[in-house]
Amino acid sequence: MSGTAAIRVEGLVKAYGGPYGIRALDGVDLEVRRGEIFGLLGPNGAGKTTTVGVCTTRVRPTAGRVTVEGVDVVRAPTGVKRLIGVATQFNTLDRACTVAENLYYHCRFFGYGAAAARQRTTELLDRFRLGDRATTMPMQLSGGMAQRVQIARAVAHRPRVLFLDEPSAGLDPQSRLALWETIGGLRDQGITVLLTTHHMEEADRLSDRVAIIDHGRVLEIGTPAELKQRVGAGTVIEVRAERAGPELVEALRVVPDVYEVREMPGGVRLLAGSRDGLMPRVVEAAQGYGLRDLSVTEPTLETVFITLTGRDLRD
């Protein structure tokens, strides 16, 4: 039995294009506990969508094993499909059917009779505040609204595990906030959620635990607070200067409390353990290099990512 694990991923490898091809996943290990919202955070191309693809039976793994609620995704894909709901960043709503029909036929696919499916559709339209869009065709919906319909559809058959793959990609900030509210609301339903995102605030706000993934490998797993602490990402300071270069890097490296300095376009980025008295010392050290701008970021999941990889999530 799976104990308390809703999703267990062991040594997952996915290679495309033969032995010399790309390794989209290079040995991923994860365990998502029942009832938690688990965030998979990483830049585009890190392997998030491929991981979700394997968990949801649409991508066949090259090696490794994945179980959802104890059911093996390779050996029993149909069994897994009954346990999961999936919403992706792409609008995959059935364009030939109305919003209500999208929900209704989804329920029918999952074995609901006509009456039960109608009742469940009404319930969902109500709960997701879609009542006035029941007869709208998907192409006429805004991005945020379409995403809400997709999530309603994904939970329609009461899955145990919900996969949300980049749910807020391409949404405007207001729709993103509304979506976060919707996802937060799922927490009370006791459903397990695996959320992938390259949006660090999204991962921070919604997730109970986060795995940071890059180049097909998991770098760290923990609660957002644990990660910020464990990785030791204190403060990130970006210094922009006219004469940024190796000399500036050297000058800043010797500032007390600064433990890492990296060049970036037009300046340097430094990681420091503590903020106390740091600013004046940094300013002093950078003075002779045409200091133009200084920005300080509190520890966030993004700074954790920068600490782990030396790169920005957007890079």
Partner 1 sequence: MTDAALPGSAGPGLYLRAFVGLLARDLRVLQRNLLPFITRTVMNPLLFVFIFTYVFPHIGQSIQGGPSGMSYATILVPGLVAVGMVFQGIGAVALPLAMELGATREIEDRVLAPLPVELVAIEKLVFGAAQGVLAGAAVFPLVYFIPSTPVQVHVASWPLLITVILLASLTSGALGLALGTIVRPPQIGLMFAVVVVPITFLGCVYYPWALLHPIPWLQAAVLVNPLVYMSEALRASLTPELPHMPVWASLTALTAATAGLGAIGVHGFLRRTIS
Distance CA 200, CA 259 (A): 23
Q: Least distance from C-beta 206 to partner 1, angstroms?
A: 23
- Pick between residue 70 and residue 273 the one whose CB is nearest to partner 1: 70
- Pick between residue 99 and residue 270 the one whose CB is nearest to partner 1: 99
Q: Least distance from C-beta 237 to partner 1, angstroms?
A: 43
For residue 140, CA distances in Å to 93, 133, 268 come to 11, 10, 46
Q: Least distance from C-beta 1 to partner 1, angstroms?
A: 11
Instruction: For residue 90, give every residue at least 6 positions away whose Cβ sits within 8 Å of its Cβ, in sequence order, or none.
Output: none
- Pick between residue 48 and residue 157 the one whose CB is nearest to partner 1: 157
Helices 114-127 and 143-155 pack at an angle, to 10 degrees, of: 140
- Pick between residue 2 and residue 309 the one whose CB is nearest to partner 1: 2
Q: Least distance from C-beta 22 to partner 1, angstroms?
A: 12
For residue 71, CA distances in Å to 9, 57, 230, 310 come to 12, 11, 33, 37
DSSP assignment letter at 128: T
DSSP assignment letter at 146: H
- Tokens for 157, please give them: 């058959």
- Alpha carbons within 13 A on the beta-carbon side of 11: 4
- Pick between residue 95 and residue 129 the one whose CB is nearest to partner 1: 95
Q: Least distance from C-beta 105 to partner 1, angstroms?
A: 4
Site for partner 1, rule CB under 8 A: 16, 53, 56-60, 69-71, 76-79, 81-84, 86, 88, 90, 92-97, 101-102, 105-106, 108-112, 153, 157-160
SS3 label, residue 210: strand
Q: Least distance from C-beta 156 to partner 1, angstroms?
A: 10
- Pick between residue 84 and residue 219 the one whose CB is nearest to partner 1: 84
Distance CA 291, CA 80 (A): 57
Q: Least distance from C-beta 52 to partner 1, angstroms?
A: 12
Identify which of 16, 7, 23 has the alpha carbon closest to the alpha carbon of residue 86.
Answer: 7
Type and span of the H or E element at 123: helix 114-127
Identify which of 139, 9, 10, 144 has the alpha carbon closest to the alpha carbon of residue 87.
Answer: 144
- Pick between residue 17 and residue 19 the one whose CB is nearest to partner 1: 17
